[in-house]
Amino acid sequence: MKREAVFSKSQRPLGPRSLAPAANPDSVAVESPAAHNGETPARPVRFFQKRWRWDFIAVFLLGALISLLGVGFGQFFWPARAPLTQKDIDAAVLHTLQTKELPSASAKAAASVQGAVVLVQAYGLDPKNKDAEKETGVGTGVVIKDDGTILTNFHVISGAFKLKVTFFDGSQAQAQVVAVQPEKDLAVLKPQKIPDDLEPAILGSSQQLLPGDGVVAVGFPFGIGPSVSSGVVSGLNRQFRSQDGSQPLSGLIQFDAAANPGNSGGPLINMSGEVVGIVTAILNPTSARTFIGIGFATTIESAGAAVGLPPF
């Protein structure tokens, strides 16, 4: 007896239902029994699509609930900080002032210019031995340009045939005189070489000075230094004449910061660390040549004119 095939390989003729594409491959259609009787079949119910929509809503609500719980726990364990008030700031500053030792205004001013201060040594021939050199003067200078240009006093370098400058890092170099103004006791030097990290001083203005303003003098008194002394402006537009009467100076700043031989040519700076004058003389009615409380400095405006700097 011939066995009938379980799966027929022949193509069946397409009926009316075969012409319509499936609405959703994942949906399961429930066919009504009335379809076999020629009636219109019922619309397929997409169980998977409905179930997916409810799952999405449930996940969204669960996420929102977790977020709200997280915010609540965060506020409980880490409460919001109160806004910072001026009273809080004042209290913090007062606490710092009481517990921390801050540098003085004089120390900060001196630190801003100390790297530009140099020791200037003048040499002449030894009268007892013409082949030997002899130190004839010592003073201070201040670097005022990036190329190493140094401003100092004329009387420091006067009569010298050789000049040597020592920089803040201990390096030394010979220097040449490039300009002088004896009537203002000023001289401009140019060293043969300079340190790589040399920074010039910042020049200020003496026009803003008032008697009583704090000032600092930096230099090499008696070759010792760099040394720092502080004081105040004692007066403005002063006049000074050397003991021999050969060098009258005018328009000077009078100050009481300690200055001695060797400070000549050094910077007089304000509390902002700006050079406002060049120390040039001290007043002492005796022959001791020591400081008794009255020093004089040429204004930086006069000194700037000596090197061709623009007016302040």
- Which entry of 229, 230, 264, 302 is annotated as an active-site residue? 264
Q: Is 264 a catalytic residue?
A: yes
Residues contacting 271, CB < 8 A, separation 6+: 105, 106, 109, 213, 214, 215, 216
Q: What is the pLDDT of residue 87?
A: 86
What CATH number has the domain spanning 111-306?
Answer: 2.40.10.120
Q: Is 8 a catalytic residue?
A: no
Hunting for tokens 């205004």 — which residue is that?
105
Alpha-carbon 50 to chain mean position:
67
Residue 21, both tokens: 């594409």
Q: What is the pLDDT of residue 168?
A: 94
User: How high is the mean pLDDT in each 10-residue block of the chain (312 residues)?
Assistant: 48 47 46 50 52 66 75 62 81 82 89 95 83 87 94 92 94 94 91 94 93 96 94 95 73 95 96 95 83 93 74 46
Q: What is the pLDDT of residue 28?
A: 46
Pure H helices in 181-247: none
- Which entry of 106, 185, 230, 256 is annotated as an active-site residue? 185
User: Is the separation of the CB atoms in 299 and 252 below 8 Å?
Assistant: yes
Rg (CA), the chain: 46
- Which entry of 106, 112, 155, 256 is annotated as an active-site residue? 155
Q: What is the pLDDT of residue 8?
A: 47
CA distances 171 to 74, 123, 192, 246, Å, are: 62, 18, 12, 36
Q: What is the pLDDT of residue 82?
A: 72
CA distances 128 to 137, 164, 206, 207, Å, are: 18, 22, 45, 49
Residue 293, both tokens: 């409380």
Residue 179, both tokens: 């300009």
Sign, CA dihedral 236-240-258-112, equals positive
Q: For residue 255, how many other CB atoms are within 10 A of its CB? A: 31
User: Is the separation of the CB atoms in 236 and 244 below 8 Å?
Assistant: no
Q: Is 185 a catalytic residue?
A: yes
Q: What is the pLDDT of residue 243?
A: 62
User: Is the separation of the CB atoms in 32 and 42 below 8 Å?
Assistant: yes
